[in-house]
Structure 1
Amino acid sequence: MGPDPELRSALLADRAGTANRIAALTADLEAIVEASRLVATDDEHDPEGATIAFERSQTTTFLEDAHKHLADLDSALDRLEADDFGRCEICGNPIAAGRLIARPTARTCIDCAT
């Protein structure tokens, strides 16, 4: 049957957007780290220090999430190319179309996800 070109295109577009988000978040994190080096703040006692620490933590979390999403997209693309996309990795049954529309990187059907 071969990979669905529309699905492949949507996954690739999501991948490109995610890669751009990773680049932007990486630049943001580097700027936050650099700003904290330039201003010797005490994170515990200086109000600005707490803000910088929060921003660094939040940006790091967003960056980790983006990297995980990128890995999920790559895995979905691999499954699509192998003609194994849309099949539950646990039970082997097809994953419902609605689930794949909502979450194209899904690896399991609803029953096995719970």
Structure 2
Amino acid sequence: MDADRGRLLAERERTTRRLAELTGDFREIVEASASTNADDEHDPEGATIAFERSQVATLVQQARHRLREIEAALARIDDGRYGTCERCGRPIPVERLEARPTARTCVAC
């Protein structure tokens, strides 16, 4: 379990850094577009700005979701449920946990 915890803590650190970067990127895009009078609907550059803003917002949401999954996996380690399938109760193969440390289900489920 120490290796699993270490893997999850390292992933949490990477994801937290990524979230901080993305949040900064999003803030920069919003600030840059606020200082212009670009009309997203009619300005050719406006569509690009709106796309970038939407894309970064989606990546921020994904990073936040990833952090929630990591925290849930750490909680499962703490209460002894880590590595047990939430559907069937069988052990989750080590290879799956190595590939997807936040896995909640076995391959079959």
**Does TM, scored on the shorter chain, surpass 0.5?**
yes
Tell me the distance in 2 between the aligned counterparts of 1:69 and 1:103: 11
Does 1:97 pair with 2:108? Answer: no
- SS of 1:111's equivalent in the other structure is coil
Tell me the distance in 2 between the aligned counterparts of 1:100 and 1:12: 14
Aligned match of 1:106: 103
- The alignment-based identity, stated in percent, is 52
Whichever residue aligns with residue 62 of structure 2, its letter is D
Q: CA deviation at 1:101?
A: 1.1
Does 1:63 pair with 2:41? Answer: no
Stretches of structure 1 lacking an aligned partner (at least 5 in a row): none
1:71-102 Cα offsets, whole Å, 9 max, x none, are 00000001111121100011111111221111
- SS of 2:108's equivalent in the other structure is helix
Stretches of structure 2 lacking an aligned partner (at least 5 in a row): none
Whichever residue aligns with residue 31 of structure 1, its letter is E
Whichever residue aligns with residue 75 of structure 2, its letter is D
Aligned match of 1:53: 50
TM-score (norm 2): 0.95
TM-score (norm 1): 0.92
Aligned match of 1:83: 80
Whichever residue aligns with residue 93 of structure 1, its letter is R
Runs of 4+ in structure 1 over 2 Å off: none
